[in-house]
Chain A
Amino acid sequence: MNIRIAAQIAQTHLLAKKRQTLVAMLGVTFGIAMFITMISFMQGVNQFLEDSALDASPHVRIYNEVNTQRPSLIEQLNPGDFNVVYHQKPKDELARLKNGLAIAQRIEKEPGVLGVSPQVATQVFYNNGPIQLSGTISGVDIERENRLYNLASRLKSGSINALRTNPDGLIMGSTLARKLNVRTGDKVTITTPGGGTRILRVVGTFGFGVGTVDNTKSYANLSTVQEILQKDPSYITDIHLKMFDPLRAIPFGKKLRAEYGYYTEDWATANQAILAGEQIRNMLTYVVSITLLVVAGFGIYNIMNMTVVNKIKDIAILKATGFDGKDIVAIFLLQAAFIGLSGGLLGLGIGFGLSYLLSITPFEAGDFLSIRTFPVIFSSTYYVMGLVFGIVTTVLAGYFPSRKAAQVDPVSILRG
């Protein structure tokens, strides 16, 4: 097989039918451009949602689940017998993590941990005049919390330092603040489920771009919340921690559960809906893109088939003058590969252009999402993938007509 002559013949064939070559090329171009645009956009959306979920939630949360179900004493003594107990009250159990601060300190020393924030979380009512809204308040060491969630960059007004200097300070979710009609500097009364009330001053507002957080949550000093709940300074209900690598957080969470005996919840469990949505979008992207490429592949298959039929005399004459089956396959396969490569490269260019246009298109997402344009990821992986897909489809589409060409019986053609 002599690839140079095959290439020369392939080139002559392609140039002889410029329009047909162009149409076949554009089929691939369209498929790949759509593939690039869709995958860049979908992955952008996935990344954005994952980021916002990961930003606003800890990689692992350690907490003590207060279990109201407990066997009665008689049940414990005579298990399996006929015992009847009416109206058993749940045991008064605290949601605290025993030695919470010590646990936090130990976890912080583990390798791969970015930061740990022990905190007290409780449900509260926010009152401002006649307005009453339920929400949560987290008593935190604001330095540590800032390290985990980069709060400083999420602030819409006020400052982190203001909370440190003011023991009665409160940093409030921006949507919640708007609903309460309060601004930085205003006072809010909070009421705990236990009945304690306290007047706190709003020293800042934040927005994560995640509705469930911005709508309900406030940060206060750890000691302040402990005081409102009338607990001692070692009272900790939650430990939030972040790892350098989010994926390592999942096994790490299981390890912590085994080590300390408290419940742990990792980000993947907490954000299952987002991850499921991600998988569905990925599937959708691949299905649509592959469909487009398959359609382009059929287009090429058709055109190559037509070319083989049109060139059947040429094939016969080439075979008669000593070209073997492999040469003929090479001639037609090279044509398909050229169409795939050039159409693919053009498609990558157009795909890049479309994704760029999408990435600068304004997108008003309201309070729930903190973006101004469509999220798009530009990653060379997708471009390599697109080109490989394009070439594989066209070469496959070209292979069958080429094989047919190689099997042409020259005698039947030449005898006329």
Chain B
Amino acid sequence: MSTVLKAQHVTKYFYDPEKFQVLKDITFEVRKGEFLSIVGKSGCGKSTLLYLLSTMDTDYEGDIEMAGVTLKGRNQDFLSHFRNEHLGFVFQFHFLLPEFTTLQNVMLPGLKLGKYSEKEVEERAMEKLRLIGMTEHARKPASKLSGGQQQRVAIARALINEPTIIMGDEPTGNLDKANTENVFEIFHELADKGQTIIAVTHDPDFAAGTDRIIEMSDGSIISEHKNS
């Protein structure tokens, strides 16, 4: 399988309140179709690493290459477009736009990409909602959904542009057990279909269900192992 993400010697400092090295020479690769989890204690730098990979944080040393594109030193507009096309996000605190309906939330990144007409984007969005079992809530305002439902919609939104990689920052961190299982189930189905997923988590059960686990401590990768 081909490599979709390559991080080489990634190092990052925080400067406030004083200079502090968060990430120390991180090097790893992710292959297409892999379901990868990054684990570690709070403050080990795993979320920081994810936001560097997400292209939203550009202040680092080293190189990140994704889908064959070097991301170091690109301007914000390029990175926005890159995120739109290649990345899907699922955050810990669902983060839907509350004034919009479920369907509109899913459609927005698709409309932004502008690859398909509005009608096609809507059909695709409905298809993604069907995948996560939320079609009956499509016309509801996002603010009327429960936490677990919102997180599932966020996954549908992440999928709308058929991204190269889906990134999750504690995607189940804020959910109860039933919803956690539900979300995990969806991630697994996606991984089975060949979707590359990188998730940061401190839930050992979640990590155990992924293809590969990278464990971090104090800004370095301390171990890496594959689940069978």
- A interface list, Cβ under 8 A from B: 2, 4-5, 8-9, 12-13, 15-16, 313-314, 316-327, 410-411, 414-416
Cβ of B84 within 8 Å of any chain A Cβ, yes or no, is: yes
Give B132 Cβ to nearest chain A Cβ, in Å: 17
Known: A313-B95, A415-B47. A322 touches B113 (CB 8 A): yes
Beyond contacts A314-B98, A322-B82, A325-B76: 14 other A-B pairs, Cβ-Cβ < 8 A, are A2-B112, A5-B112, A9-B108, A314-B97, A320-B56, A321-B83, A321-B84, A322-B81, A323-B84, A324-B76, A326-B77, A411-B56, A414-B51, A416-B92
A15: nearest chain-B partner, CB-CB = B99
**Chain A residues whose CB sits within 8 angstroms of the CB of B51 once the complex forms:** 411, 414-415
**Chain B residues whose CB sits within 8 angstroms of the CB of A326 once the complex forms:** 77
- Cα-based distance from A313 to B80 in the complex (angstroms): 17
CB of B169 within 8 A of CB of A414, answer yes
Cβ of B10 within 8 Å of any chain A Cβ, yes or no, is: no
CB of B112 within 8 A of CB of A322, answer yes
Contacts of B74-103 to chain A: CB distance below 8 A? 76-77, 80-85, 87, 89, 91-93, 95-100
- Cα-based distance from A320 to B158 in the complex (angstroms): 10
- Cα-based distance from A322 to B79 in the complex (angstroms): 8
3 closest Cβ pairs, A-B complex: A322-B84, A324-B80, A16-B99
CB of A321 within 8 A of CB of B112, answer yes
Cβ of B111 within 8 Å of any chain A Cβ, yes or no, is: yes
Across the A-B interface, how many residue pairs have beta carbons closer than 8 Å?
A: 77
CB of B112 within 8 A of CB of A416, answer no
Cβ of B152 within 8 Å of any chain A Cβ, yes or no, is: no
CB of B169 within 8 A of CB of A324, answer no
Cβ of B57 within 8 Å of any chain A Cβ, yes or no, is: yes
Known: A2-B111, A313-B95, A416-B93. A320 touches B77 (CB 8 A): no
**Chain A residues whose CB sits within 8 angstroms of the CB of B54 once the complex forms:** 320
How would residues 197 to 225 of chain B score, 1 for a CB under 8 Å from any chain A CB and 0 otherwise?
00000000000000000000000000000
**Chain A residues whose CB sits within 8 angstroms of the CB of B93 once the complex forms:** 416
**Chain A residues whose CB sits within 8 angstroms of the CB of B114 once the complex forms:** 2
Cβ of B40 within 8 Å of any chain A Cβ, yes or no, is: no
CB of B77 within 8 A of CB of A5, answer no
CB of A319 within 8 A of CB of B80, answer yes
Known: A314-B97, A322-B84, A324-B81. A414 touches B108 (CB 8 A): no
Cβ of B124 within 8 Å of any chain A Cβ, yes or no, is: no
- B interface list, Cβ under 8 A from A: 47, 51, 54, 56-57, 76-77, 80-85, 87, 89, 91-93, 95-100, 104, 108-109, 111-114, 157, 161, 169
CB of B77 within 8 A of CB of A322, answer no
- Cα-based distance from A16 to B142 in the complex (angstroms): 13
**Pairs across A and B, CB under 8 Å, 18 listed:** A2-B111, A8-B111, A9-B97, A12-B104, A15-B99, A16-B99, A316-B95, A318-B108, A319-B80, A321-B83, A321-B108, A322-B84, A322-B161, A324-B77, A327-B112, A410-B56, A411-B56, A415-B51
A4: nearest chain-B partner, CB-CB = B111
Task: Count chain A CB atoms within 10 A of each CB in B51, B97, B98, B113 and give the residue with the most.
Answer: B97
Give B62 Cβ to nearest chain A Cβ, in Å: 17
Known: A13-B99, A414-B169. A323 touches B112 (CB 8 A): yes
Per a CB cutoff under 8 Å, which of B57, B99, B100, B157 touches A321? B157
Give B116 Cβ to nearest chain A Cβ, in Å: 13
- Cα-based distance from A75 to B158 in the complex (angstroms): 105
- Cα-based distance from A135 to B93 in the complex (angstroms): 92
- Cα-based distance from A15 to B47 in the complex (angstroms): 36
**Chain B residues whose CB sits within 8 angstroms of the CB of A12 once the complex forms:** 97, 99-100, 104
**Chain A residues whose CB sits within 8 angstroms of the CB of B169 once the complex forms:** 414-415
**Chain B residues whose CB sits within 8 angstroms of the CB of A4 once the complex forms:** 111
- Cα-based distance from A321 to B89 in the complex (angstroms): 7
B161: nearest chain-A partner, CB-CB = A322
Give A1 Cβ to nearest chain B Cβ, in Å: 9
**Chain B residues whose CB sits within 8 angstroms of the CB of A319 once the complex forms:** 56, 80
CB of B57 within 8 A of CB of A5, answer no
CB of A323 within 8 A of CB of B95, answer no
- Cα-based distance from A410 to B57 in the complex (angstroms): 9
B88: nearest chain-A partner, CB-CB = A321
